[in-house]
Amino acid sequence: MKISEYLLSCQLKMVRLRKKKLLPGQMSDVGAFLFVCFMIPFTFLWEIFFITPELYKEGGEMWYLHVVLGTIMLVNIAGNFLGLWLVDTSTRHIVVPSKKIGENWHYCASCEAVAPPRSWHCNVCNTCILKREHHCMFAGYCVGHYNHRYFLLFLAWLWVGVLYCIYFNTTYLWNMEGVFSFYAVLKFIFPLIMIMTGVDMSTAQVAIFFWSVHVAAFLLVSVLLVYHIHLIYHGKTTFESNRRIANYDLGWKQNFIEVLGKSWKLALIWPFGKSKLPHNGVDWDTEATWKLEAPKNR
């Protein structure tokens, strides 16, 4: 093995965490980032300490059951969001010889460096991203090779979590008298304005606000989750799909392992578990090479 190839393999053995420019670089990202950071813990506190005690006897078996389930969801949502936000998936730590250009590698004028296949420059992050998927406004950072797993599972657990919250808030509001009236229509249309202006700062109005946010989040996350599962199923990223690049479809099972890692069962339930990815983000199997290599790997 050449020295340059050895150094490259050593650099990619450990996943690095970003230590600089942790906050989003543009204002639209800042708003989305702060909203997620605010809503995740406050939703948990609201549902566990205000809603569930109204539906179940506090200290009872059902209450403790929902506290445990809610905590599991919180850990997975927050843990995967941290991975999405903090894991460095850029090419800034990769040093490669210039002769690589032409072997599906390309020169990035912005970074003034050679970038590997599936890596593209992000003007917001101001760097090339390994297997660039897209720039995520909620994390203020790009989704790429090393944090793709966290992005997908963040969406999946968030989908479960908001559906769970919708059930509780709907049940809570349904049991309240006078909530569903003509005047209440305005409360559902402008929930936050009602609270901020002081027109209605009751617990019921706060519940309406959370219900509205969760319904909107459920619709958005459902669309995003279906879209990205479809992309992964076909071995593509958003960037590649937009440019009709379809060279990396290794079969749907392997395509998901490429994202979730070899210990995908652990990754599904524990965001801090290690799940080694089959590829290093630099050297990729194509559909043609996988037909030759797959039998050996199996």
Q: Which helix (H) or strand (E) holds 255?
A: helix 252-260
- Cβ atoms < 10 Å from Cβ of 58: 11
Exposed, middle or buried, 243 (CB in 10 Å: 0-12/13-18/19+)? exposed
Looking at the DSSP bridge assignments, the partners of residue 232 are none
DSSP 55-75: HS-TTSHHHHHHHHHHHHHHH
- Cβ atoms < 10 Å from Cβ of 50: 15
> Can you list the pairs that 120-128 forms with residues at least 24 positions away whose Cβ atoms lie under 8 Å?
120/239, 124/25, 124/26, 124/29, 125/25, 125/90, 126/25, 127/90, 127/91, 127/92, 128/90, 128/91, 128/92
Q: Which two tokens stand for residue 111?
A: 């970074």
Which residues belong to the active site? 136
